[in-house]
């Protein structure tokens, strides 16, 4: 019988909301079977079972807030269930000897057992999404090091992002099971450690005899240990920010509960640097005096190093794969969106009355879903050995959003079957979620074609990289007021938007993407024509 401890996967997550239990107490579950859905401040995550067994207790109700490093549910494995009777027979055999109080043998045995069992393995958790292994990128500690609760121990790279694994509790690292660049499997030990509460009782007995001989050493060691135990509460993300700026966490006053140091506290501390140099003036003056010239030269050559992690690392990896494995065909075109802008202005008031925010994006998506029906190859995928084209039944249009956690591409599912207001509501929801870093994995999966609105930042032309395994992407440039000739040969002002397509040249040739773009363009330049083709 064991408790499933909600793991800390870094990124500053300290708690999550239990959205839904997928099992009940008493249920038999299989390894990797989904047990619960939890919502962190980043995304909706599905928690799977670590092994086969029976759920004996659920520690939280739906809607409760669960803390990391706290039990989520209790699970009895098959071995525990089958060995219950054997486990009960052992206490009966020990009771006669335990009843003989003068006997000292049981206590040494239990002490020895505690010594053997004091070492705990940190098991690499399965956080769902099909992740079965990860690469050990960098160990932050070595065997024998003392660690504090929430201290970063190792950086690992999954096929989704870089994740910082932190210590579940304070203690001493006894073994690292993997070297850097090795692959670690989920549900297998990552490192072993002795929790401090188990390690401490043994040390006082071993050190008294050595204390007289090593007077100075313990005196120096004890204050350091005392300082370590007075842990300042802060999330892993905050501690990483403190390390990156070479700050001391003790110098920053925390405004959170129980003195927890928040990210805002660190940023506020960085914004008021004048007080720190004054307090550190003696030590600062001591070093520059003899080497002031060299210090100035070194300052000119300073380089700030920032590791590529999280969504940025995942994006970098995906873009390299796409750019090096997919032959891109680039095609640009100008679209006159004058009539489209006028129609949107007319419909915007009615949409707002219904609680919807109508932008141009729903029109772009709806026109694209209609054009895809005539050119389904734009809404397809290729198998791994490039021997088959898989035509997809739904048009799930992704939109690139520069969010808080990095570039994200959530997608609107089944655009062809939604109303214009339905698409507008989904666009608004996903944009807000992406900008706040709260997009669920479901919204990020299953995209079939992507729109990147680079024009919102001022760009005109682009050369977008396909979001594999999709086969096409379009970048929207900014809308410009440009002169054009009307039917009578008169120069008039028109709203012109430049779009840049990238297609997978293995299955999409220039003629296909040109004809597809022309069809899409016709819907946008004459938006009322879409009414004839909507199902």
pLDDT in tens, 288-310: 444 444 555 555 678 988 887 66
Residue 32, CA atoms < 13 Å, CB-side half-sphere: 7
| 315-327: average pLDDT | 89
When pLDDT is cut at 50, 70 and 90, the band that residue 427 belongs to is very high
Angle (CA) 333-470-374 rounded to 5° is 60
Gap between the Cα atoms of 488 and 73, Å rounded: 75
Least confident of 81-95, 171-185, 329-343: 81-95
Pairing of strands 406-408, 401-403: antiparallel
Decide if 499 contacts 335 (C-beta within 8 A).
yes
Gap between the Cα atoms of 167 and 174, Å rounded: 13
Pairing of strands 34-39, 449-452: unpaired
Gap between the Cα atoms of 251 and 279, Å rounded: 11
The b-or-e profile of 294-308 (16+ CB within 10 A means b, else e) is eeeeeeeeeeeeeee
| 434-460: average pLDDT | 87
Say whether the peptide bond before residue 133 is cis (omega within 30 degrees of 0). no
pLDDT at 304: 87
pLDDT at 163: 72
Q: Is the confidence at residue 523, as pLDDT, over 90?
A: yes
At residue 171, the 3 state secondary structure works out as: strand
Q: Is the confidence at residue 191, as pLDDT, over 80?
A: yes
Least confident of 221-225, 451-455, 489-493: 221-225
More confident position, 404 or 408: 408
Residue whose C-alpha is closest to residue 375's, from 527, 531, 522: 522
pLDDT at 89: 43
How many Cβ atoms from other residues are within 10 Å of residue 208's Cβ?
10
Structure-token match 């393995």, residue found: 121
Gap between the Cα atoms of 504 and 471, Å rounded: 5
Q: Is the confidence at residue 13, as pLDDT, over 80?
A: no
Which secondary-structure segment (H or E) carries 278? helix 275-279
Q: What percent of the chain lies above the pLDDT cut of 90?
A: 39
Q: Is the confidence at residue 351, as pLDDT, over 90?
A: yes
Please tell me which of 111-115, 166-170, 394-398 the model is most confident about, judged by mean pLDDT: 394-398
Gap between the Cα atoms of 241 and 210, Å rounded: 40
pLDDT at 509: 95
Taking the mean position of all CA atoms in its chain, how far away is CA 455?
27
Torsions phi, psi for 59 (to 5 deg): -80, -15
- Dmax (CA) of the chain: 114
Spatial CB neighbours of 451, under 8 Å, sequence gap ≥ 6: 361, 364, 365, 368, 397, 398, 399, 400, 473, 474, 476
Gap between the Cα atoms of 132 and 123, Å rounded: 13
More confident position, 94 or 444: 444
More confident position, 428 or 280: 428
More confident position, 271 or 37: 37
pLDDT at 449: 97
pLDDT at 489: 94
pTM beyond 0.75, yes or no: no
Beta-bridge partners for 121: 192
Q: Using the Cα atoms of residue 367, residue 369, residue 374 and residue 376 in order, give the sign of their dihedral.
A: positive
When pLDDT is cut at 50, 70 and 90, the band that residue 121 belongs to is confident
Gap between the Cα atoms of 359 and 424, Å rounded: 7
Catalytic machinery residues: 505, 509
pLDDT tens-digit readout, 89-114: 444 444 444 444 443 333 333 333 34
Q: Is the confidence at residue 79, as pLDDT, over 90?
A: no
Gap between the Cα atoms of 153 and 109, Å rounded: 33
Alpha carbon dihedral 24, 28, 30, 31, in 10-degree steps, equals 70
Q: Using the Cα atoms of residue 279, residue 282, residue 285 and residue 287 in order, give the sign of their dihedral.
A: negative
Q: Is the confidence at residue 313, as pLDDT, over 80?
A: no
When pLDDT is cut at 50, 70 and 90, the band that residue 276 belongs to is very low
Q: Which one-letter DSSP state was computed for residue 493?
A: E
Taking the mean position of all CA atoms in its chain, how far away is CA 164?
10
Burial class (CB in 10 A: 0-12, 13-18, 19+), 51: middle
pLDDT at 95: 43
Q: Which one-letter DSSP state was computed for residue 234?
A: B
pLDDT at 297: 55
pLDDT at 38: 82
More confident position, 152 or 91: 152
pLDDT at 394: 95
Helices in 291-383 by DSSP H: which ranges?
A: 292-300, 310-325, 338-353, 361-374
| 409-429: average pLDDT | 95
pLDDT at 207: 43
The b-or-e profile of 115-141 (16+ CB within 10 A means b, else e) is eeebbbebebbbbbeeeeebbbbebbb
Decide if 508 contacts 378 (C-beta within 8 A).
yes
pLDDT at 491: 96
When pLDDT is cut at 50, 70 and 90, the band that residue 236 belongs to is low
Decide if 16 contacts 45 (C-beta within 8 A).
yes
pLDDT at 188: 85
Residue whose C-alpha is closest to residue 344's, from 328, 366, 313: 366
More confident position, 203 or 424: 424
More confident position, 117 or 251: 251
Gap between the Cα atoms of 352 and 77, Å rounded: 55
| 143-160: average pLDDT | 82
Structure tokens at 40: 């962190």
């Amino acid at each position: 019988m064991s408790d499933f401890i909600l793991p800390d996967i870094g990124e500053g997550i300290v708690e999550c909301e239990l959205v839904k239990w997928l099992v009940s107490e008493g249920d038999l579950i299989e390894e990797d079977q989904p047990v619960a859905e939890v919502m962190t401040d980043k995304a909706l995550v599905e928690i799977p079972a670590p092994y086969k067994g029976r759920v004996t207790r659920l520690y939280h109700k739906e809607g409760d807030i669960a803390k990391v490093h706290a039990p989520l549910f209790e699970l009895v494995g098959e071995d525990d269930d089958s060995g219950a009777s054997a486990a009960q027979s052992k206490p009966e055999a020990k009771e006669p000897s335990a009843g003989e109080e003068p006997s000292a043998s049981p206590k040494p045995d239990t002490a020895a057992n505690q010594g053997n069992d004091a070492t705990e393995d940190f098991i690499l958790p399965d956080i769902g999404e099909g992740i079965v292994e990860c690469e050990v990128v960098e160990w932050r500690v070595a065997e024998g090091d003392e660690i504090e609760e929430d201290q970063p121990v190792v950086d690992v790279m999954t096929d989704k992002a870089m994740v910082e694994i932190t210590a579940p509790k304070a203690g001493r690292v006894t073994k690292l099971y993997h070297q850097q660049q090795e692959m670690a499997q989920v549900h297998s030990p990552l490192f072993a450690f002795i929790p401090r509460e188990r390690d401490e009782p043994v040390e006082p007995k071993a050190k008294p005899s050595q204390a007289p001989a090593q007077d100075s050493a313990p005196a120096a060691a004890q204050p350091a240990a005392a300082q370590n135990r007075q842990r300042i509460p802060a999330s892993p993300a905050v501690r990483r920010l403190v390390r990156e700026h070479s700050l001391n966490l003790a110098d920053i006053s925390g405004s959170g509960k129980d003195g927890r140091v928040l990210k805002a506290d660190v940023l506020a501390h960085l914004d008021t640097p004048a007080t720190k140099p004054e307090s550190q003036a003696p030590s600062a003056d001591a070093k520059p005096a003899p080497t002031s010239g060299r210090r100035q030269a070194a300052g000119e050559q300073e380089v700030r190093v920032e590791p590529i992690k999280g969504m940025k690392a995942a994006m970098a990896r995906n873009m390299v794969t796409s750019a090096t494995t997919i032959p891109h065909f680039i095609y640009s075109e100008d679209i006159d969106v004058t009539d489209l802008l006028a129609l949107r202005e007319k419909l915007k008031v009615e949409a707002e009355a219904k609680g919807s925010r109508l932008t141009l994006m729903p029109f772009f998506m709806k026109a694209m879903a209609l054009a895809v029906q005539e050119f389904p190859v734009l809404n397809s995928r290729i198998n791994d050995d490039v021997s088959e084209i898989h035509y997809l039944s739904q048009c799930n249009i992704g939109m690139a959003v520069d969010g808080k956690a990095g570039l994200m591409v959530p997608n609107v599912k089944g655009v062809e079957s939604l109303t214009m207001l339905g698409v507008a509501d989904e666009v608004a929801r996903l944009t807000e979620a992406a900008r706040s870093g709260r997009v669920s994995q479901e919204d990020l999966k299953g995209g079939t074609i992507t729109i990147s609105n680079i024009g919102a930042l001022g760009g005109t032309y682009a050369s977008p990289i396909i979001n594999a395994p999709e086969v096409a992407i379009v970048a929207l440039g900014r809308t410009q007021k440009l002169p054009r000739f009307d039917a009578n040969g008169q120069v008039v002002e028109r709203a012109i938007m430049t779009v840049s397509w990238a297609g997978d040249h293995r299955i999409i040739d220039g003629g296909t993407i040109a004809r597809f773009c022309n069809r899409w363009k016709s819907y946008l330049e004459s938006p009322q024509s879409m009414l004839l083709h909507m199902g």
